[in-house]
Amino acid sequence: MKKVLVLALAVMLLLSAAVPAMATAKPLEGGFIPVIPLGVAHQFWQAVKMGAEQAAEEYGVTIVFDGPQEETMVDKQVDILRANLTNENLIAVCMAAIDEQSVLTDLTAVKEKGMPVVGFDAGCGAIADAHCSTSNYAAGELAAQNAIRLLNGEGKIAIVGHSQTVVDAVARVKGFVDYIQANSKIEIVDTQYGDGDHLKSADIAKSMLIANPDIDLIYASNEGACVGAYNGLKEINMIGKVMLIGFDSSAAMKAGVRNGEIAGAITQDPVGMGYKAVATACKLVLGEPVEGEVNENGTIVVDTGCYWYDATNMDEAHIAPLLYD
Protein backbone atom coordinates (compact mmCIF):
# COMPACT_ATOMS: atom_id res chain seq x y z
CA MET A 1 0.00 0.00 0.00
CA LYS A 2 2.81 2.37 0.86
CA LYS A 3 4.41 1.67 -2.52
CA VAL A 4 1.14 2.56 -4.30
CA LEU A 5 0.90 5.87 -2.41
CA VAL A 6 4.50 6.77 -3.17
CA LEU A 7 3.96 5.96 -6.86
CA ALA A 8 0.79 8.07 -6.97
CA LEU A 9 2.57 11.04 -5.37
CA ALA A 10 5.41 10.75 -7.83
CA VAL A 11 3.01 10.78 -10.78
CA MET A 12 1.23 13.86 -9.38
CA LEU A 13 4.54 15.70 -8.99
CA LEU A 14 5.53 14.88 -12.56
CA LEU A 15 2.18 16.08 -13.90
CA SER A 16 2.34 19.33 -11.90
CA ALA A 17 5.82 20.01 -13.25
CA ALA A 18 4.67 19.41 -16.81
CA VAL A 19 1.70 21.84 -16.62
CA PRO A 20 2.73 25.53 -16.63
CA ALA A 21 1.43 27.69 -13.81
CA MET A 22 -1.63 29.74 -14.74
CA ALA A 23 -0.89 33.43 -15.24
CA THR A 24 -2.34 35.71 -12.59
CA ALA A 25 -5.38 37.46 -14.01
CA LYS A 26 -5.13 41.23 -14.17
CA PRO A 27 -7.91 42.95 -12.23
CA LEU A 28 -9.77 44.54 -15.16
CA GLU A 29 -8.84 42.24 -18.04
CA GLY A 30 -10.97 43.08 -21.08
CA GLY A 31 -12.13 46.50 -19.88
CA PHE A 32 -11.91 49.49 -22.23
CA ILE A 33 -11.03 53.09 -21.34
CA PRO A 34 -10.76 55.90 -23.90
CA VAL A 35 -8.09 58.44 -22.96
CA ILE A 36 -8.80 61.67 -24.83
CA PRO A 37 -6.28 64.55 -24.62
CA LEU A 38 -6.61 68.14 -25.80
CA GLY A 39 -4.53 67.17 -28.85
CA VAL A 40 -1.94 64.71 -30.04
CA ALA A 41 0.56 66.83 -31.97
CA HIS A 42 2.70 68.06 -29.07
CA GLN A 43 5.29 65.75 -27.51
CA PHE A 44 3.76 66.50 -24.11
CA TRP A 45 0.75 64.39 -25.08
CA GLN A 46 2.92 61.56 -26.37
CA ALA A 47 4.54 61.46 -22.93
CA VAL A 48 1.05 61.36 -21.35
CA LYS A 49 0.23 58.44 -23.65
CA MET A 50 3.33 56.56 -22.48
CA GLY A 51 2.20 56.78 -18.87
CA ALA A 52 -1.39 55.82 -19.74
CA GLU A 53 -0.14 52.71 -21.53
CA GLN A 54 1.92 51.70 -18.49
CA ALA A 55 -1.14 51.82 -16.24
CA ALA A 56 -3.27 50.00 -18.82
CA GLU A 57 -0.75 47.16 -18.92
CA GLU A 58 -0.71 46.97 -15.12
CA TYR A 59 -4.50 46.74 -14.77
CA GLY A 60 -5.13 44.69 -17.90
CA VAL A 61 -7.36 47.24 -19.61
CA THR A 62 -7.36 48.30 -23.24
CA ILE A 63 -7.05 52.02 -23.93
CA VAL A 64 -7.41 54.18 -26.99
CA PHE A 65 -5.35 57.38 -26.78
CA ASP A 66 -6.87 59.67 -29.37
CA GLY A 67 -7.43 63.40 -29.70
CA PRO A 68 -7.58 66.10 -32.38
CA GLN A 69 -4.47 67.37 -34.14
CA GLU A 70 -5.04 70.91 -32.89
CA GLU A 71 -6.04 71.85 -29.36
CA THR A 72 -8.80 74.12 -30.68
CA MET A 73 -10.78 71.43 -32.56
CA VAL A 74 -13.76 71.16 -30.20
CA ASP A 75 -16.09 69.37 -32.63
CA LYS A 76 -13.43 66.84 -33.59
CA GLN A 77 -12.77 66.01 -29.94
CA VAL A 78 -16.49 65.53 -29.31
CA ASP A 79 -16.68 63.16 -32.30
CA ILE A 80 -13.74 61.13 -30.94
CA LEU A 81 -15.37 60.87 -27.52
CA ARG A 82 -18.73 59.74 -28.92
CA ALA A 83 -17.14 57.15 -31.21
CA ASN A 84 -15.42 55.54 -28.24
CA LEU A 85 -18.48 55.55 -25.98
CA THR A 86 -20.09 52.89 -28.19
CA ASN A 87 -17.50 50.26 -27.18
CA GLU A 88 -19.33 47.44 -25.39
CA ASN A 89 -16.43 46.93 -22.98
CA LEU A 90 -16.38 50.56 -21.80
CA ILE A 91 -15.72 50.84 -18.05
CA ALA A 92 -14.53 54.48 -17.61
CA VAL A 93 -13.49 57.63 -19.48
CA CYS A 94 -10.35 59.76 -19.06
CA MET A 95 -10.47 63.20 -20.68
CA ALA A 96 -8.86 66.61 -21.03
CA ALA A 97 -11.68 68.64 -22.54
CA ILE A 98 -11.05 71.57 -24.87
CA ASP A 99 -14.52 72.85 -23.94
CA GLU A 100 -16.17 71.39 -20.84
CA GLN A 101 -19.70 72.25 -21.94
CA SER A 102 -19.30 70.48 -25.27
CA VAL A 103 -18.76 67.10 -23.58
CA LEU A 104 -20.96 67.56 -20.50
CA THR A 105 -24.01 65.71 -21.87
CA ASP A 106 -21.98 62.71 -23.03
CA LEU A 107 -19.97 62.46 -19.82
CA THR A 108 -23.14 62.79 -17.74
CA ALA A 109 -24.54 59.78 -19.62
CA VAL A 110 -21.36 57.84 -18.80
CA LYS A 111 -21.78 58.57 -15.09
CA GLU A 112 -25.49 57.68 -15.18
CA LYS A 113 -24.42 54.21 -16.31
CA GLY A 114 -22.31 53.91 -13.16
CA MET A 115 -18.93 54.42 -14.84
CA PRO A 116 -16.32 56.88 -13.53
CA VAL A 117 -15.08 59.95 -15.40
CA VAL A 118 -11.51 61.09 -14.76
CA GLY A 119 -10.18 64.43 -15.96
CA PHE A 120 -6.49 65.00 -16.60
CA ASP A 121 -4.44 68.13 -17.38
CA ALA A 122 -7.18 70.67 -18.30
CA GLY A 123 -9.73 68.19 -16.95
CA CYS A 124 -13.42 68.11 -17.79
CA GLY A 125 -15.01 70.19 -15.06
CA ALA A 126 -17.21 69.36 -12.08
CA ILE A 127 -18.58 66.22 -13.77
CA ALA A 128 -15.28 64.43 -13.05
CA ASP A 129 -15.02 61.95 -10.20
CA ALA A 130 -11.28 62.65 -10.10
CA HIS A 131 -8.89 65.13 -11.71
CA CYS A 132 -5.22 64.29 -12.30
CA SER A 133 -3.00 67.28 -12.97
CA THR A 134 -0.01 69.30 -11.83
CA SER A 135 -0.49 71.39 -8.70
CA ASN A 136 0.55 74.67 -10.28
CA TYR A 137 0.70 76.41 -6.91
CA ALA A 138 3.17 73.78 -5.66
CA ALA A 139 5.11 74.10 -8.92
CA GLY A 140 5.41 77.85 -8.34
CA GLU A 141 6.68 77.14 -4.84
CA LEU A 142 9.32 74.77 -6.24
CA ALA A 143 10.49 77.48 -8.64
CA ALA A 144 10.71 79.89 -5.71
CA GLN A 145 12.74 77.46 -3.61
CA ASN A 146 15.34 77.30 -6.37
CA ALA A 147 15.29 81.06 -6.91
CA ILE A 148 16.06 81.55 -3.21
CA ARG A 149 18.86 79.01 -3.44
CA LEU A 150 20.37 80.68 -6.50
CA LEU A 151 20.22 84.14 -4.90
CA ASN A 152 21.21 83.02 -1.39
CA GLY A 153 17.98 84.49 -0.08
CA GLU A 154 18.58 88.11 -1.14
CA GLY A 155 18.21 90.21 -4.27
CA LYS A 156 15.59 91.44 -6.72
CA ILE A 157 13.26 89.40 -8.94
CA ALA A 158 10.90 90.25 -11.78
CA ILE A 159 8.14 87.97 -13.07
CA VAL A 160 7.10 87.50 -16.69
CA GLY A 161 3.72 85.75 -16.46
CA HIS A 162 1.63 84.38 -19.29
CA SER A 163 -1.95 85.00 -18.12
CA GLN A 164 -3.80 86.88 -15.41
CA THR A 165 -7.02 84.90 -15.96
CA VAL A 166 -6.17 81.24 -16.64
CA VAL A 167 -6.39 79.45 -13.28
CA ASP A 168 -3.22 77.38 -13.76
CA ALA A 169 -1.21 80.42 -14.82
CA VAL A 170 -2.38 82.47 -11.85
CA ALA A 171 -1.46 79.63 -9.46
CA ARG A 172 2.07 79.36 -10.86
CA VAL A 173 2.71 83.02 -10.06
CA LYS A 174 0.88 83.05 -6.72
CA GLY A 175 2.74 79.99 -5.44
CA PHE A 176 6.04 81.60 -6.43
CA VAL A 177 5.26 84.99 -4.87
CA ASP A 178 3.83 83.58 -1.65
CA TYR A 179 6.86 81.36 -1.07
CA ILE A 180 9.39 84.11 -1.84
CA GLN A 181 7.70 86.53 0.54
CA ALA A 182 7.39 83.98 3.34
CA ASN A 183 10.88 82.52 3.12
CA SER A 184 13.37 85.17 2.00
CA LYS A 185 14.38 88.81 1.92
CA ILE A 186 14.10 88.88 -1.87
CA GLU A 187 12.15 91.80 -3.35
CA ILE A 188 9.78 91.22 -6.26
CA VAL A 189 10.09 94.50 -8.13
CA ASP A 190 7.78 93.94 -11.13
CA THR A 191 5.23 91.49 -12.54
CA GLN A 192 3.96 91.76 -16.12
CA TYR A 193 2.09 89.44 -18.49
CA GLY A 194 2.90 88.66 -22.12
CA ASP A 195 0.25 86.04 -23.03
CA GLY A 196 2.97 83.43 -23.52
CA ASP A 197 3.99 85.24 -26.71
CA HIS A 198 7.72 85.22 -27.46
CA LEU A 199 7.87 88.77 -28.83
CA LYS A 200 5.70 90.32 -26.12
CA SER A 201 7.63 88.52 -23.38
CA ALA A 202 10.96 89.62 -24.86
CA ASP A 203 9.83 93.25 -24.88
CA ILE A 204 8.56 92.95 -21.29
CA ALA A 205 11.88 91.54 -20.08
CA LYS A 206 13.80 94.34 -21.77
CA SER A 207 11.54 97.09 -20.42
CA MET A 208 11.77 95.62 -16.90
CA LEU A 209 15.55 95.80 -16.98
CA ILE A 210 15.52 99.34 -18.31
CA ALA A 211 13.29 100.39 -15.40
CA ASN A 212 15.13 98.19 -12.85
CA PRO A 213 18.71 97.55 -14.01
CA ASP A 214 19.55 95.85 -10.69
CA ILE A 215 17.19 92.89 -11.24
CA ASP A 216 19.04 89.68 -10.38
CA LEU A 217 16.61 87.06 -11.66
CA ILE A 218 13.53 86.71 -13.86
CA TYR A 219 10.90 84.01 -13.31
CA ALA A 220 8.86 83.14 -16.42
CA SER A 221 5.67 81.13 -15.89
CA ASN A 222 5.48 79.11 -19.12
CA GLU A 223 7.51 78.10 -22.16
CA GLY A 224 6.50 81.12 -24.25
CA ALA A 225 7.28 83.56 -21.45
CA CYS A 226 10.62 81.88 -20.78
CA VAL A 227 11.80 81.74 -24.40
CA GLY A 228 10.65 85.33 -24.90
CA ALA A 229 12.51 86.55 -21.80
CA TYR A 230 15.54 84.51 -22.88
CA ASN A 231 15.53 86.20 -26.29
CA GLY A 232 15.09 89.61 -24.66
CA LEU A 233 18.09 89.07 -22.40
CA LYS A 234 20.16 88.06 -25.43
CA GLU A 235 19.13 91.17 -27.33
CA ILE A 236 20.42 93.49 -24.61
CA ASN A 237 23.47 91.38 -23.73
CA MET A 238 22.26 90.51 -20.25
CA ILE A 239 22.80 86.75 -20.46
CA GLY A 240 25.04 85.80 -17.56
CA LYS A 241 24.19 89.01 -15.72
CA VAL A 242 20.54 88.23 -15.00
CA MET A 243 19.47 84.72 -14.11
CA LEU A 244 16.38 83.18 -15.69
CA ILE A 245 14.06 80.48 -14.35
CA GLY A 246 11.38 79.04 -16.62
CA PHE A 247 8.48 76.60 -16.70
CA ASP A 248 7.84 73.62 -19.02
CA SER A 249 10.28 72.80 -21.81
CA SER A 250 11.03 73.13 -25.52
CA ALA A 251 14.04 72.69 -27.78
CA ALA A 252 15.08 76.31 -27.17
CA MET A 253 14.64 76.04 -23.41
CA LYS A 254 16.55 72.76 -23.19
CA ALA A 255 19.42 74.24 -25.18
CA GLY A 256 19.50 77.30 -22.92
CA VAL A 257 19.45 75.18 -19.76
CA ARG A 258 22.14 72.84 -21.09
CA ASN A 259 24.54 75.70 -21.87
CA GLY A 260 23.83 77.43 -18.56
CA GLU A 261 22.16 80.53 -20.03
CA ILE A 262 18.88 79.53 -18.37
CA ALA A 263 19.47 78.63 -14.73
CA GLY A 264 16.77 75.96 -14.73
CA ALA A 265 13.06 75.36 -15.04
CA ILE A 266 10.09 73.45 -13.71
CA THR A 267 8.76 70.55 -15.73
CA GLN A 268 5.45 68.87 -15.26
CA ASP A 269 5.31 65.06 -15.23
CA PRO A 270 3.24 64.09 -18.28
CA VAL A 271 4.21 60.42 -17.96
CA GLY A 272 3.01 60.40 -14.36
CA MET A 273 -0.12 62.29 -15.41
CA GLY A 274 -1.08 59.65 -17.98
CA TYR A 275 -0.32 56.84 -15.57
CA LYS A 276 -2.32 58.34 -12.70
CA ALA A 277 -5.30 59.18 -14.94
CA VAL A 278 -5.75 55.56 -16.07
CA ALA A 279 -4.76 54.07 -12.70
CA THR A 280 -7.24 56.35 -10.93
CA ALA A 281 -10.03 55.32 -13.32
CA CYS A 282 -9.22 51.66 -12.66
CA LYS A 283 -9.20 52.16 -8.90
CA LEU A 284 -12.60 53.85 -9.04
CA VAL A 285 -14.00 50.96 -11.09
CA LEU A 286 -12.63 48.49 -8.56
CA GLY A 287 -13.89 50.51 -5.60
CA GLU A 288 -10.36 51.06 -4.32
CA PRO A 289 -9.35 54.25 -2.48
CA VAL A 290 -7.77 57.11 -4.43
CA GLU A 291 -5.31 59.41 -2.70
CA GLY A 292 -5.99 63.11 -3.17
CA GLU A 293 -7.87 66.13 -1.85
CA VAL A 294 -11.60 66.44 -2.43
CA ASN A 295 -12.61 69.84 -3.82
CA GLU A 296 -15.86 71.76 -3.50
CA ASN A 297 -17.40 69.74 -6.36
CA GLY A 298 -16.66 66.43 -4.70
CA THR A 299 -13.90 65.71 -7.23
CA ILE A 300 -10.78 63.93 -5.96
CA VAL A 301 -7.82 66.08 -7.02
CA VAL A 302 -4.69 64.01 -7.67
CA ASP A 303 -1.38 65.90 -7.88
CA THR A 304 0.71 64.38 -10.68
CA GLY A 305 3.92 66.10 -9.58
CA CYS A 306 6.58 68.40 -10.98
CA TYR A 307 10.38 68.60 -11.00
CA TRP A 308 13.17 71.14 -11.11
CA TYR A 309 15.65 70.55 -13.91
CA ASP A 310 18.93 72.22 -14.78
CA ALA A 311 22.17 71.37 -16.55
CA THR A 312 23.19 69.02 -13.76
CA ASN A 313 20.20 66.66 -13.86
CA MET A 314 18.35 67.09 -17.18
CA ASP A 315 19.82 63.88 -18.63
CA GLU A 316 19.00 61.73 -15.61
CA ALA A 317 16.63 58.81 -16.16
CA HIS A 318 13.75 60.26 -14.11
CA ILE A 319 13.95 63.73 -15.74
CA ALA A 320 14.90 63.24 -19.42
CA PRO A 321 11.56 61.61 -20.49
CA LEU A 322 9.67 64.57 -19.05
CA LEU A 323 11.43 67.19 -21.20
CA TYR A 324 9.62 67.60 -24.48
CA ASP A 325 10.23 69.76 -27.54
| DSSP code per residue over 70-132 | STT-HHHHHHHHHHHHT-TTB--EEE--SSHHHHHHHHHHHHHTT--EEEETT--GGG-SEEE
Q: Sorting pLDDT into bands at 50, 70 and 90, what band is 44?
A: confident
pLDDT of residue 237: 97
CATH topology for 136-267 is Rossmann fold (3.40.50)
Q: Burial letters for 247-286: b for 16+ Cβ neighbours within 10 Å, e otherwise?
A: bbbbebbbebbeeebbbbbbbbbbbbbbbbbbbbbbbbbe
pLDDT of residue 74: 93
Q: Is the pLDDT of residue 15 over 60?
A: no
Question: Do 146 and 245 contact (CB within 8 A), yes or no?
Answer: yes
Length of the chain: 325
Mean pLDDT of the 87-111 span: 96
DSSP 4: H
Cα dihedral sign for 81, 277, 223, 214? positive
Closest CA to 132 of 7, 284, 5, 266: 284
| Cα separation, 54 vs 1, whole angstroms | 55
More confident residue, 4 or 172: 172
Q: Is the pLDDT of residue 71 over 80?
A: yes
Helix H or strand E segment including 259 = none
Mean pLDDT of the 208-237 span: 97
Q: Sorting pLDDT into bands at 50, 70 and 90, what band is 24?
A: low
pLDDT of residue 180: 98
Q: Is the pLDDT of residue 18 over 70?
A: no
Q: Is the pLDDT of residue 1 over 90?
A: no
CA quadruple 191, 195, 199, 205: dihedral, nearest 10: 10
Q: Sorting pLDDT into bands at 50, 70 and 90, what band is 149?
A: very high
Q: Which amino acid is at 210?
A: I
Percentage of residues in the chain having pLDDT higher than 90: 82
pLDDT in tens, 112-122: 999 999 999 98
CA quadruple 230, 234, 238, 241: dihedral, nearest 10: 60
pLDDT of residue 319: 94
pLDDT of residue 23: 44
Q: Is the pLDDT of residue 75 over 90?
A: yes
3-class state of residue 25 by DSSP: coil
Closest CA to 106 of 87, 91, 132, 85: 85
Q: Is the pLDDT of residue 165 over 90?
A: no
Alpha-helical (H) ranges within 184-263 are 198-211, 223-235, 251-258
Provide CATH 3.40.50.2300 ranges for the chain.
32-134+270-305, 136-267
Which residues, in sequence order, are CB contacts of 278 under 8 Å at separation 6+? Answer: 33, 35, 51, 52, 55, 56, 59, 61, 63, 94
Q: Is the pLDDT of residue 167 over 90?
A: no
Mean pLDDT of the 247-262 span: 96
More confident residue, 46 or 178: 178
pLDDT in tens, 293-308: 999 999 999 999 999 9
Q: Which CATH class is domain 32-134+270-305?
A: alpha beta
pLDDT of residue 14: 36
| Cα separation, 24 vs 301, whole angstroms | 31
Tell me the sheet residues that pair with 293: 301
- Lowest-confidence segment of 159-173, 199-213, 219-233, 268-282 by average pLDDT: 159-173
pLDDT of residue 70: 87
| Cα separation, 174 vs 85, whole angstroms | 39
pLDDT in tens, 194-220: 999 999 999 999 999 999 999 999 999
pLDDT of residue 10: 41
